Chain A
Amino acid sequence: MRNERVVAYLFVLPALGLFLVFRFFPLVAGSVYAFTDWNGIADARWIGLANFRELIFDPVFRDTMRNTAWVILSLPIWVGLPLLLAVFIHLGVPGAPFFRAAYFFPIVLSSIIIGTMFSIIMRFDGSLNQLFILLGLEPVDWLGDQRFALISVVSVAIWAHFGMNVLIFLSGLSAVPPEIIDAARVDGANLWQVIFRIIIPMLRPIVEFVAVITMITVVTSMFGLIYIMTGGGPGTATYMPEFLIWLMQGESNRLGYAAAMSIVLFAFVGCIGVVQIRMMRREWE
């Protein structure tokens, strides 16, 4: 079967080649650049841990981390709301098929499309503020006010992603045996007990799974929204890690420094990934 081996390698080769050149090699090279002062033009000079030392004292990086922490604190909304929605859709609340379609819809839209739509709506003279005025409330500068910009961007991010989590919960719910619910009803449990004491505890592994992948989403896929809605501003109010990396390498030409940030981000995502793999393994056992 020597022939089979050669053919197998040939079949895997294109995938392996693309992966090595565009993903693996950059990852390795990046971890080397992180220890240099490379600016993209002059030769890179080895500067040891200086980039990482600078990171610790960089106020912009600290602001970015603070923002990230705030966003991670909103995780219960990212997970809890879709969980409840999925449970009610699964139980067949009136209008369930319609809700299903409506919630999934934003999944296919790009962050640029979503960001532009909401920029129009959340402008100072946009429809959200018109509604506020109609209700007799003070209009708010949603994207331009230090206090509200991050909340606004995160709300839009939740809007963009919650359908995805509803979908994952629904696929988990389809594995909950209906007999258990029926049995509980026969034993006199009311609807709310069924939901909170039986269904949600059974979904625990999926809740953990969603929490982990949502956390990765939060730190790695808000670039488009920030780019289009606030450009990181006002000040550093809506800086997130990937946005800062992009800024450092694109506008400031500080490629070595940007690489150091990438390493920190990758380490963070890597840690979450390890937790995820642990959870998946536990599920198998």
Chain B
Amino acid sequence: MRLAQKRSERIGLWLVSAFMLILAASTIYPIFFTISTALKSTREFIRHGFSIPTAPTFEKFVTAWTTIKLDAYFMNSAIVTVIGVTLVLLVSSLAGYALAQMRFRFRKAIYFFLLSGLMIPVQVVMVPLFRIIVELGMLNSRVGLGILYGAFFSPFGIYLTSSYFASIPRELSEAAKVDGASYWQIYRLIMLPLARPVLITLGILTTLSCWNDVLLSLLVLQDDRTLMVGIASLRGEYGADIPLVAACVVIGAAPVIAIFLIFQKKILGGIMVGSVKG
């Protein structure tokens, strides 16, 4: 189909395109501006706030990494993200397999009960959750925060994995059972390899959720900080040193931007599947 047939339509489309270009520039510009600011010294930023850095320097990155202890925060974020993602992958692949491929009482009820988790926002359970965190000795514990991520992000994972496992014919595991395989072996040797694509997507999306989280992290780690909370707290102490703040932002965003550029298709595909259910 030729999109624009008449001259007036063609002009209209170019106008739309121009508007969309401005919009695209406005999504890219803040990131570009932040990176260029991070590469400036404080003095250069004050003198030439908007030009491209004339003498790019990594001085602010070094300060951010060492003086502000961003290295420790980065490590914290990496640890809680790894624990959270591992837990989500394990818990949702097990539950997704059972819910989609096995027959047992209350199967449907359990499925909908778990999915209702998608409808409970963190804020709503924040108050009692804090008490549970304290009682279970999870306060200020990175492992504890990782477990919380596992609890909060696995309902989406269960939805994703169970709808994937449901598309695998049950005859496959029946045949393996006849050959003497245990349920664990079927899960480990047949289901997990088959589910690889969906598990990769789930892993990436969960990585983004854990890495970007603020609310749970503020709740659990009160003495220590994750990277996002560390960046959020710059406002007070270092707020005046704009290039330094910008450098911290670049450090915090670099991993997710890298993930986006590498796995763009997987991320967008996963969000599309997830958005169908909400």
Binding site for B on A (CB under 8 A): 1, 3-5, 7-9, 11-12, 14-16, 18-19, 21-27, 29-30, 33, 40, 85, 88, 91-95, 98-99, 101-121, 127, 130, 159, 163-164, 167-168, 171, 178, 181-182, 185, 190-192, 209, 212-213, 216, 220, 223-224, 227-228, 241-242, 245-246, 249-250, 255, 258-259, 262-263, 265-266, 269-270, 273, 276, 280
Q: How far is the CA of A216 from the CA of B278 in the complex (A)?
A: 10
Question: Chain B residues with Cβ under 8 A from A270's Cβ?
Answer: 119
* B105 at the A interface (CB under 8 A): yes
Tell me if A127 and B49 are in contact (CB < 8 A). yes
- 20 more contacts with CB within 8 A, not counting A8-B102, A19-B151, A171-B275, are A4-B102, A4-B183, A12-B110, A21-B151, A23-B120, A25-B128, A27-B125, A85-B20, A91-B3, A95-B21, A99-B20, A108-B257, A110-B214, A119-B235, A120-B37, A164-B271, A181-B1, A224-B215, A242-B215, A259-B127
Q: How far is the CA of A255 from the CA of B128 in the complex (A)?
A: 8
Which 9 A-B pairs have CB atoms at the shortest separation, nearest pair first? A110-B212, A11-B98, A26-B125, A22-B151, A15-B95, A102-B24, A242-B123, A29-B128, A26-B128
Tell me if B95 and A98 are in contact (CB < 8 A). no
Q: How far is the CA of A245 from the CA of B114 in the complex (A)?
A: 25
Question: Chain A residues with Cβ under 8 A from B94's Cβ?
Answer: 11-12, 14-15
Of B25-33, B53-61, B62-70, B192-200, the one contacting chain A is B25-33
Q: How far is the CA of A163 from the CA of B213 in the complex (A)?
A: 19
Question: Chain A residues with Cβ under 8 A from B30's Cβ?
Answer: 114, 117-118, 121
Q: How far is the CA of A4 from the CA of B208 in the complex (A)?
A: 35
Tell me if B103 and A4 are in contact (CB < 8 A). yes
Q: How far is the CA of A259 from the CA of B208 in the complex (A)?
A: 29
Which residue of A114, A209, A223 is within 8 Å of B215 (Cβ)?
A: A223
Q: How far is the CA of A111 from the CA of B276 in the complex (A)?
A: 23
Tell me if A14 and B95 are in contact (CB < 8 A). yes
Majority-rule SS of B interface residues:
helix
Q: What are 16 inter-chain pairs, A to B, with CB distance below 8 A?
A: A16-B95, A18-B154, A21-B132, A26-B129, A93-B20, A94-B13, A98-B24, A105-B260, A109-B253, A116-B231, A130-B50, A191-B4, A191-B13, A246-B126, A250-B218, A258-B126
Tell me if A262 and B23 are in contact (CB < 8 A). no
What is the size, in residues, of chain B's interface with A at 8 Å between Cβ atoms? 99
Tell me if A102 and B127 are in contact (CB < 8 A). no
State the Cβ distance, B270 to closest chain A Cβ, in Å: 11
Which residue of B122, B132, B183, B252 is within 8 Å of A7 (Cβ)?
A: B183
Question: Chain A residues with Cβ under 8 A from B121's Cβ?
Answer: 216, 220, 242, 265-266, 269
Question: Chain A residues with Cβ under 8 A from B272's Cβ?
Answer: 167-168, 171
Q: How far is the CA of A27 from the CA of B124 in the complex (A)?
A: 7
Question: Chain A residues with Cβ under 8 A from B23's Cβ?
Answer: 85, 99, 103
Q: How far is the CA of A103 from the CA of B125 in the complex (A)?
A: 33
Binding site for A on B (CB under 8 A): 1, 3-6, 9, 12-14, 16-17, 20-21, 23-24, 26-28, 30-31, 33-34, 37, 49-50, 87, 90-92, 94-95, 97-99, 102-105, 107, 110, 113-114, 117, 119-132, 147-148, 150-152, 154-155, 158, 183, 187, 208, 211-215, 218, 228-229, 231-232, 234-235, 242, 245-246, 248-249, 252-253, 256-257, 259-260, 264, 267-268, 271-272, 275-276, 278
Tell me if B123 and A103 are in contact (CB < 8 A). no
Question: Chain A residues with Cβ under 8 A from B17's Cβ?
Answer: 88, 93-95
Tell me if A116 and B9 are in contact (CB < 8 A). no
Tell me if A213 and B114 are in contact (CB < 8 A). no
Q: How far is the CA of A70 from the CA of B78 in the complex (A)?
A: 38
Q: How far is the CA of A105 from the CA of B245 in the complex (A)?
A: 21
Question: Chain B residues with Cβ under 8 A from A242's Cβ?
Answer: 121, 123, 215
State the Cβ distance, A198 to closest chain B Cβ, in Å: 13
Which residue of B122, B148, B252, B276 is within 8 Å of A113 (Cβ)?
A: B252
State the Cβ distance, A206 to closest chain B Cβ, in Å: 10
Tell me if B124 and A269 are in contact (CB < 8 A). yes
Q: How far is the CA of A265 from the CA of B121 in the complex (A)?
A: 9
Which residue of B14, B37, B231, B242 is within 8 Å of A94 (Cβ)?
A: B14
State the Cβ distance, A158 to closest chain B Cβ, in Å: 11
